[in-house]
Amino acid sequence: MQRTYEIMFIVRPDILDEDLDKLIAGLEGNITQGGGSIKSLEKLGRRKLAYTVKKFNDGNYVLLTILADGSLVGEIERRLRVSEPVIKFISVRMDEEEKRVAKIKAIRATRKKLSAQPAAAPAAPVEAAPAPAPAAEAASA
Amino acid sequence: MADEISTPSAPSTSRSEGSGPGSSGPGGRPPAGRPSGPGGGGRKFFRRKKVCKFCVEKIDAIHYRDVRLLQQFVAERGKIVPRRLTGVCTTHQRGLARAIKQARNIALLPFAARY
């Protein structure tokens, strides 16, 4: 069962850029090998942490949105826990939330149509009105 | 604490202003005749009806990533502000609490602000 997950992790701030890229590439390889797929990858950059983690006060935030099985997410979490430069991570399941939001949006869209229809009706005569005017001018001339 | 109370109720200003002059304007009726008086005890000052920010602004998903939004509902020391102060509805308060807790976990919000 493939589900959408969002994995956010913090990498220690003193890591080099190429090492960070290597780490992310390794993680991507793990995901694709495990049968998952990456929807988006976003490096949120360096940010101040709200509290000290492993004696660090800032961290490089990386956000990863993936489509994967539950077991694969467990495996990725294990890898993140083991990998030394990663100081904190969180994985959140998103599909239910997305479904709920889509439902609300759909309901709202149907409601909007009802309110939009009376507004559209008066708009049509206004557009039709200028058309007879040139005809009247032509008749007078 | 005053900040948290005033910010979420700010969007309601326009709404309550609309009903305020309308009820007192014609004939200058005594306040006792007002149909929906809040509380009942405080006749002198009119307590503005608090409205849910998420319902009014139509924010569907409360995500743990938007710290700006979540910070409005966190007190100075990092506590989640109760519903009775912010006016957030039950459904959204539940989602909000979850988002704040997730944000705390990933060090976007503090568990307890240090002094």
Domain spans in chain B, listed from the N-terminal domain onward: 2-105
For B34-83, write each residue's pLDDT tens digit: 444 444 555 677 777 788 888 888 888 888 988 899 999 999 888 999 99
CATH code for residues B2-105: 4.10.640.10
Going from N- to C-terminal start, the domains of chain A cover 3-93, 96-124
A56 exposure class (CB count in 10 Å sphere: 0-12, 13-18, 19+): middle
Q: Which of B61, B105, B107 has its CB closest to that of A101?
A: B61
Res A98: pLDDT: 87
Res B34: pLDDT: 43
Cβ-Cβ contacts under 8 Å, B64 against chain A:
90, 92
pLDDT of B7 above 80: no
For B13-29, write each residue's pLDDT tens digit: 334 333 333 333 333 34
Name the least confident of A13-17, A118-122, B5-9, B94-98. Answer: B5-9
Cβ-Cβ contacts under 8 Å, B108 against chain A:
50
Q: Which residue of B has its CA nearest to A98?
A: B61
Res B19: pLDDT: 39
Cβ-Cβ contacts under 8 Å, B60 against chain A:
100-101, 104-105
Q: Which of A50, A63, A92 has its CB closest to that of B110?
A: A50
Q: Using the beta-carbon criterion (under 8 Å), do B108 and A88 form an inter-chain contact?
A: no
| Average pLDDT for runs of 10 along chain A of length 141 | 90 89 90 88 89 90 91 91 91 89 88 64 50 48 43
Res A115: pLDDT: 61
Res B61: pLDDT: 84
CATH topology of domain A3-93: Alpha-Beta Plaits (3.30.70)
Q: Which of B105, B110, B114 has its CB closest to that of A90?
A: B105
**Which residue, among A41, A51, A37, A43, has the nearest Cα to A87 in the 3D structure?**
A51
Q: Using the beta-carbon criterion (under 8 Å), do A108 and B106 form an inter-chain contact?
A: no
Q: Using the beta-carbon criterion (under 8 Å), do B107 and A53 form an inter-chain contact?
A: yes
Reduced to 3 states (helix: H, G, I; strand: E, B; else coil), residue A65 is strand
Res B81: pLDDT: 93
Q: Give the distance from residue B109's alpha carbon to the nearest chain A alpha carbon, in angstroms.
A: 5
Measured between alpha carbons, how far is residue B55 from residues A94, B60, B87, B92 in Å?
Answer: 21, 8, 11, 8
**Helix-strand-coil percent breakdown of chain B, rounded to 5?**
50, 0, 50
